[in-house]
Structures are given as C-alpha cells and as structure tokens.
C-alpha cells in the first residue's frame, strides 16, 4: 500500500499526458496488435510492504498480479484473451471455463502430490474494449477483499479504479492456495481469443518450456517484488532496481511509466526474499501457506 500512495503524486500527470504517447511508442515487433504484459508480481514481499492489492492484508498468493497495456494506436477488445501460468498451459486442451470454480484442496490424502495435480492459474477476459495506452491489472484474488470497481471473468469493471491510478482492475477470484505463480521459476503466457500464443514472460527455469510458436518470449529477472518493463519496447527489470520515483519500490499496479523507469541496475538476488510461503511445485506442504513476517 505504501508503494501505491508514493506514486499517487505522479499519477495525475501520467494519466493526463502519458497514455496517448504510449500508443505511439514502438512495442516489441512480435507483439502485433495485441495487449502487452508490462508488469508481473510473483514473489510478493513480506509484511505490509507486500499488500499490492491494497486490501489491508498481505497474502503471498492473493497479492500476485499481471499488468497489461494497449500499446497500439487502436482500441483492443480483450474478450477471449487468456492468461496462463506454466502449469495451466496445455496446447490442444479445451479452453478453461471462466465460470467454473477453482480447484479446491481436499482432505490431506486428496491434496496434490505433483505438478499435474496442482490447481492451474488461468484467467479469461470478458467483453471489454481498452483504448490506446490504457492499463489493465489482474490480481490473483486469493483471500482478498478488493473494493471499488473490480471486474472478474464474468463481467468487466464498471469503470477505472481510482485506487490504482485509473487502471481497469480485475480479480481472478482464485479460491485455491495452489493456483499461484512460482517465485523462482515460472512463466505467464498471454493467448489470443483464437487460441494462439501472443506473449510469454518467463523467469528462472520452469519445468515446462514456453510454447515454441509464441512470437514473443521474454526473460524476466527473478525478483522480490515485481518485474516491470522499462519501456514499451524495453526489457524487463526488477521494480526495486528501476530509476526515478520507482527506485527501491516493490511494485506499481496500474501505473506504467517508462519515463520514470528508463534504466535498470543488475537484477536482484533470487534468494533475497520470501521463497517458501507458497506451496512448492511437486511438494505442496500441509495446509494453506503462511505469510511470514518481516
């Protein structure tokens, strides 16, 4: 929450003048006329500093998010675009039903014992058109109490959220402690409504490789806090290592400001933060994950 308020003073300037210029900047050539992932939070920082969704409680899973932007000069309808984590991506399988409830962990003997039994993280957008330069944030939503204008897989938000710099905010409404991004190695894949991979951001060495036919596969550093794109066509860097007003901060959901993030230092050490407060792939511990203190 501290990071959200710290950026509020530059939000008004950005909203007034930055969004139109973003649409004129050159996105990665392979991205085409699709949304572009600009920020991913997988390793949620410990304590109050990790409350990315500003609901008053830090949760190692619920505060995860993926931020996207319309980098083109034309509106984009998000209906049918889907986000997958590495476990969820299964080429040729039926598209996930956004109305179906998330997998629930059962009694001890029924809990997943391998990757194939984990709850998969997916989110399919409902009908919503975003203008050039407009930002969208999708929170995991596990054990979260998001307030204000928040959409889900069934309906779009009623309007921009003033809690997140007038971005359009969604919650996956995840109900499983196993449907989460892995801190040290995973990927987020954006797939178009026709089922074709559009963009993949990977970090570490996921057990499953990104789809080879994805036209844009990018490496993100393993961070504590989010990894953010340094510009529309730039690389991904740890948010803490960005320059300007972003320097030393953990994340900025809803606020994509390449002018304030034009340089990046060396990636943060992968062992510098919480790595054991989520179920481990292939070895989920008993019970729900516990959020460690500072």
What is the domain partition of the chain in residue ranges? 2-89+111-260
Rounding to the nearest 10 degrees, give the CA dihedral for residues 207, 212, 216, 222: 10
Provide the pLDDT confidence category of residue 133 given band limits of 50, 70 and 90.
very high
Residue 97: CB atoms within 10 Å: 10
Determine what percent of the chain is predicted with pLDDT higher than 70.
Answer: 66
- Summarize the confidence of residues 31-50 as an average pLDDT: 93
Residue 63: CB atoms within 10 Å: 26
**150/168 Cα distance (integer angstroms):** 8
Specify the pLDDT at position 205.
94
Show the tokens assigned to 243: 């320059």
Show the tokens assigned to 215: 């036209």
Q: Which residues contact 40 (CB under 8 A, 6 or more apart)?
A: 65, 66, 67, 181, 188, 201, 220, 226, 227
Biggest alpha carbon–alpha carbon distance for the chain = 56
pTM over 0.85: no
Show the tokens assigned to 209: 């490789």
Has residue 204 got a pLDDT over 80?
yes
**Residue bearing the bigger pLDDT, 287 or 227:** 227
Has residue 166 got a pLDDT over 90?
yes
Rounding to the nearest 10 degrees, give the CA dihedral for residues 62, 294, 161, 154: 0
CATH top class, domain 2-89+111-260: mainly beta
């Amino acid at each position: 929450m501290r990071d959200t308020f710290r950026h509020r003073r530059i939000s008004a300037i950005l909203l007034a003048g930055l969004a139109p210029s973003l649409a004129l900047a050159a996105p990665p050539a392979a991205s085409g006329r699709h949304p572009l992932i600009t920020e991913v939070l997988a390793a949620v920082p410990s304590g109050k500093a990790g409350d990315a969704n500003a609901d008053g409680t830090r949760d190692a899973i619920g505060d995860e998010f993926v931020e996207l932007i319309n980098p083109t000069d034309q509106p984009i309808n998000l209906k049918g675009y889907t986000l997958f984590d590495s476990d969820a991506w299964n080429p040729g399988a039926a598209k996930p039903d956004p109305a179906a409830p998330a997998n629930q962990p059962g009694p001890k003997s029924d809990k997943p014992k391998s990757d194939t039994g984990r709850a998969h993280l997916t989110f399919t957008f409902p009908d919503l058109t975003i203008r050039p330069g407009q930002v969208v944030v999708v929170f995991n939503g596990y054990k979260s109490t998001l307030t204000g204008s928040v959409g889900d897989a069934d309906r779009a938000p009623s309007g921009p959220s003033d809690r997140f710099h007038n971005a359009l905010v969604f919650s996956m409404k995840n109900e499983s402690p196993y449907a989460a991004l892995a801190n040290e190695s995973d990927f987020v894949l954006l797939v178009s409504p026709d089922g074709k991979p559009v963009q993949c951001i990977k970090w570490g060495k996921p057990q499953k490789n990104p789809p080879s036919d994805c036209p844009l596969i990018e490496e993100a550093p393993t961070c504590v806090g989010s990894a953010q794109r340094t510009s529309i066509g730039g690389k991904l860097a740890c948010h803490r290592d960005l320059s300007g007003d972003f320097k030393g901060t953990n994340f900025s959901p809803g606020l994509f400001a390449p002018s304030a993030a034009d340089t990046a230092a060396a990636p943060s050490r992968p062992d510098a933060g919480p790595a054991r407060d989520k179920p481990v792939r292939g070895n989920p511990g008993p019970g729900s994950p516990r959020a460690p203190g500072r």
